[in-house]
Amino acid sequence: MTNAQQFTNKTVLISGASIAGPALAFWLDRYGFTVTIVEQAPSLREGGYKVDIRGAAMEVIERMGLLDELRKASTDMAGGAWVDANGKPLATLGPDLIGLRSPGDDEVLRGDLARILFDATKSGVEYVFGDSITDLVQHADGVEVHFRNAAPRMFDLVIGADGMHSTVRRQVFGPEERFARHTGMAACVISVPNYLDLDRWELVHPTPGRIVQMYSTTRAAAKAQFIFPAPAQLPDRGDVPAQQRLVADTFADGGWETANLLRLMPESPDFYFDSVSQIHLDTWSAGRVALVGDAAYCPSPLSGQGTSMALVGAYVLAGELFAAAGDQRAFDRYQEKMQHYIDENLALGWKNATQMVAGGKGALRMQTFMLRMVSRLPWKGMALRSIIEPIEQAAKAIHLEDY
């Protein structure tokens, strides 16, 4: 490893302690950089839906030495069913069809992965919770960073890993409207008691244009997700009561368990709500500042790709910075190395997100029929392969260097 004294830039501030931030910190710390993470939440945010880790991202987890921890946290889903308004199964799916994963890939709760990454970095990285960047001033020899609470500090480099609505991106690259592409849908996730006694089992109740899901994993009591058409004006991001009212109004006439889940929504300790949107930027860096994960290339919360892209992006960005001894020209190499992989996954993410919810009654009937057929066909393996192959290709569309 390069002697730390030879680094052109050594101190790095990362904004955001979810997936991309701590994964980047892991590698930078290992390479000898001095890393600080600022997170606006008062403590580690543990909530969120189950997320897939696929292809190159699994390779990154393995190189981090975290594979055993990840396997222990696996949701280990046994399968699930699509149900009608009375709870009658329309199609029953095994774990292969419910997860659409290639052998070796895995699925964990987002919060569990955030905890694994935090635990693996907390001894070598300075975490500052309950604060955020208010201003960034780039100088020839560093970045002057102003915080909401803490006193201003100088860092050599600043990385925005602060998600789809990144503040660093807004401060350095411009307003979100310039980079966001909306699918027209919104999603909400809540934690609920497992009152249906689901055992690693997922139930999906689709209606035209909307979906309600509930599942339990080995690690979570139960989670529910609502997917629905976003109104032209979504409630403000911090306005949880307005977001909950919107979900409740949208699903007021819902069948199956919808009324029970809506009743439980206000008690959820980790309410998550967002528009189903992508982020597209031509360039992920400007001077001494760069972006990683959803802040740079969010594929949308329904894509099944975001967490993998964050892990791979963190690995490549840290590796290129190390290879360049901290010189920010590494940011160009990071983008060059990642561009193809990101393009493939953004395209796939858009398709996944926009095809997940069937628009009308006819489309819904067709979707259910296809699911039922694929799960029953004698050549099910072949049909499944043709669905999984494009996902696998995108997940592996990068060669990971050994930095």
Q: Which residues contact ligand FAD (rule: CB under 6 A)?
A: 15-21, 38-41, 45, 47-49, 51, 110, 132, 161-164, 167, 189, 272, 293-294, 301, 306-307, 310
Query: Which residue number is nearest to ligand FAD in terms of Cβ?
Result: 293
Longest Cα separation, the chain: 67
The distance of closest approach from Cβ of residue 103 to ligand FAD in the complex, given in angstroms and rounded to an integer, is: 23
**Complex with ligand FAD: residue 46 or 332, whichever CB lies closer:** 46
Per-position DSSP letters for 150-171, written without gaps between them? SPPEEESEEEE---TT-HHHHH
Angstrom distance (rounded) from CA 47 to CA 42:
14
HSE at residue 51, side-chain half, CA atoms within 13 A, is: 27
The distance of closest approach from Cβ of residue 118 to ligand FAD in the complex, given in angstroms and rounded to an integer, is: 10
The distance of closest approach from Cβ of residue 373 to ligand FAD in the complex, given in angstroms and rounded to an integer, is: 28
Angstrom distance (rounded) from CA 120 to CA 141:
31
**Complex with ligand FAD: residue 225 or 328, whichever CB lies closer:** 225
List Cβ neighbours of 228 (8 Å cut-off, separation of 6 or more): 185, 186, 187, 209, 210, 211, 247, 250, 251
The distance of closest approach from Cβ of residue 351 to ligand FAD in the complex, given in angstroms and rounded to an integer, is: 16
The distance of closest approach from Cβ of residue 227 to ligand FAD in the complex, given in angstroms and rounded to an integer, is: 11
The distance of closest approach from Cβ of residue 175 to ligand FAD in the complex, given in angstroms and rounded to an integer, is: 14
Residue located via tokens 């960005």: 317
The distance of closest approach from Cβ of residue 165 to ligand FAD in the complex, given in angstroms and rounded to an integer, is: 7
3-state secondary structure of 188: strand
Angstrom distance (rounded) from CA 299 to CA 278:
5
The closest of 240, 224, 218, 217 to 192, measured between CA atoms, is 224
Residue located via tokens 């095994």: 94
The distance of closest approach from Cβ of residue 360 to ligand FAD in the complex, given in angstroms and rounded to an integer, is: 25
Burial class (CB in 10 A: 0-12, 13-18, 19+), 3: exposed
**Complex with ligand FAD: residue 289 or 374, whichever CB lies closer:** 289
Radius of gyration, CA atoms only, the chain: 21
Angstrom distance (rounded) from CA 170 to CA 284:
12
**Complex with ligand FAD: residue 203 or 374, whichever CB lies closer:** 203
**Complex with ligand FAD: residue 80 or 293, whichever CB lies closer:** 293
The distance of closest approach from Cβ of residue 281 to ligand FAD in the complex, given in angstroms and rounded to an integer, is: 13
Both structure tokens of 332: 């160009």
**Complex with ligand FAD: residue 28 or 90, whichever CB lies closer:** 28
Q: Decide: 337 and 220 in contact? Cβ < 8 Å.
A: no
**Complex with ligand FAD: residue 307 or 375, whichever CB lies closer:** 307
**Complex with ligand FAD: residue 38 or 70, whichever CB lies closer:** 38
**Complex with ligand FAD: residue 164 or 214, whichever CB lies closer:** 164
Both structure tokens of 172: 């350095």
